[in-house]
Amino acid sequence: MDKSVHQELTTYHDPCNYARKSERTFGHGYYEEPRWVLQQCCENFVEMYPNRANNFCCGGGGGAWASPYTEERIFYGRVKAKQIKDTGAKLLIAPCHNCRDQIMKSLRKEYDFMDVEVKYLWELVADSLIIEPREE
Amino acid sequence: MEPLLLSKRERRKLASQYAELCLTCGTCAGGCPVTGVDGLDVRKVVRLAVLGLDQEIIDSKFPWVCTMCGRCEHACPMNIDLLKLLRSARAMRDRDKVPGVLHKGVEMCLKTGNNVGIPEEDFKFLLEDLGAELAEELPGFEVPVDKKGAKYLFTINSKEPFAEPEDMMFWWRILYAAGESWTVASKNWEGVNWGLFTGDDEAMKEIVGRLVQNYKELECEYLVLPE
């Protein structure tokens, strides 16, 4: 992994399904694993508050991203937007399609933080990889 | 407003056995970003359910603006299964009244194997085409379709082949770098199960069953739902 690719201050959004709901359903919440992966790629990491089991939903989950209640979805996201902005991070890792879309495509614009880049966790890994091409 | 005759109320369907344990403390609603939207909140939904006013919950949009994130349930001191309550309210709506495209997506998935109805030929062509593009950078890369005995069977969020196909390459790069054996099924590859959102357990089970069938037929070791 090449940590020099992502030098900016980076924060992490716990998706409900990876975190709280996995803990409830499977007896194990995936809180630390994604943070470990993230910190193999980024040197400068900051937590948002609250986090892990008490993290706030992005507002796009449970089908809300595909639902017609746009105004309510954006209103919901105000809490998430504040959490992100309060960290001062310039890169946000959101390892869930719904969360990433809600934050990247909607909340950034609605709550004025277009300067924060949003990536999937696996996008962060892919962009940090030093790949040695295989011989055919 | 008509008075509610508790003696004549219909048998409650929505109230879980735990809902009567509610202390009405409001911890659930206090930490929920959509409290008050549509005049409701989680605590009020529990009260409506306990009183047997199921239809009011079912007809309201609150269960749909709720994202079922589970923060309320996590905080509830009485451990009431609030998500089950809210999702059941979604399930009890007539299917033609499910908001937006969610139920149409479920029907499309049951019919075509993915939520947006991408035909198999188009899907295979796209994977081949994108794979060839990535191979220019990563020699020997290709997308293995229906490869029997692969270690990982990857499902795909139909949003990607439909609208953001190049995003599929993130995983492909990782798998290439790791030298892993993996595959994608040509049929029923959808990784997004909207039955979860619409409260449609039967559809959900059918869609999961198809993934498991692929996994068994392709004799893979792991089934990956990368989202």
Segments making up each domain of chain A, as ranges: 3-128
Q: Do A76 and B138 touch (CB under 8 A)?
A: no
- pLDDT tens for residues B62-92? 999 999 999 999 999 999 999 999 999 999 9
pLDDT at A135: 74
Categorize the per-residue pLDDT at B18 as very low, low, confident or very high, splitting at 50, 70 and 90.
confident
Contacts of B95 (CB under 8 A, 6+ apart): B103, B198, B200
Q: Rounded distance, CA A49 to CA A96, Å?
A: 19
Alpha-carbon distance of B11 to B207, in angstroms, equals: 32
Please tell me the distance from the alpha carbon of residue B144 to that of residue B182, in angstroms, as a whole number.
Answer: 7
pLDDT in tens, A100-116: 999 999 999 999 999 99
Collapse the DSSP code of A118 into the 3-class scheme (helix H, G, I; strand E, B; otherwise coil) and give the result: strand
Q: Which amino acid does the sequence have at B141?
A: F
Q: Which two tokens stand for residue B157?
A: 């969020």
Q: Give the residue on B whose Cα is nearest the Cα of A127.
A: B170
* DSSP string for B140-196: T----BS-TT-SEEEPB-THHHHH-GGGHHHHHHHHHHHT--EEE-SSS-B---THH
For chain A, what percent of residues have pLDDT higher than 90? 96
pLDDT at res. B10: 65
| Contact status of B66 with chain A (Cβ, < 8 Å) | yes
Average pLDDT over residues B159-164: 97
- Measured between CB atoms, which of B68, B102, B137 is closest to A66? B102
* pLDDT over threshold 70, residue A40: yes
In the predicted structure, residue B179 carries a pLDDT above the cut 90: yes
Name the region of A42 (left: φ>0; alpha: ψ -120 to 50; beta: rest).
beta
Task: List all residues of chain B from 102 to 141 with a beta carbon under 8 Å from chain A.
Answer: 102, 105, 137-140
Cα dist from B210 to B54, B175, B193, whole Å: 33, 24, 11
Q: To which H or E segment does residue A12 belong?
A: strand A10-12
H-helix segments, A10-110: 20-26, 32-41, 70-76, 78-87, 97-101, 108-110
Q: How far apart are CA B179 and CA B165, in angstroms?
A: 22
By the CB < 8 Å criterion, does B205 face chain A?
Answer: no
Half-sphere exposure (CA, 13 Å, Cβ side) for A99?
A: 26
Q: How far apart are CA B139 and CA A135, in angstroms?
A: 7
| Average pLDDT of the residues of chain B | 95
Per the CB < 8 A criterion, the answer to whether B41 and B71 are in contact is: no
Nearest to B169 by CA among B126, B216, B219: B126
Q: Residue B7 has what pLDDT?
A: 67
Q: In this predicted structure, what is the pLDDT of residue B151?
A: 98
Chains A and B form CB pairs within 8 A to the count of 127
Looking at CA atoms only, how far is residue B73 from chain A in angstroms? Answer: 9
Task: Report residue B16's pLDDT band, with 50, 70 and 90 as the boundaries.
Answer: confident
- Average the pLDDT over B97-122 and give the result: 98
Q: Give yes or no for residue B3 having a pLDDT over 80.
A: no
A61 CB neighbours in chain B (<8 A) are 67-69
CA distance B64 to B97: 11
Mean pLDDT of B14-34: 93
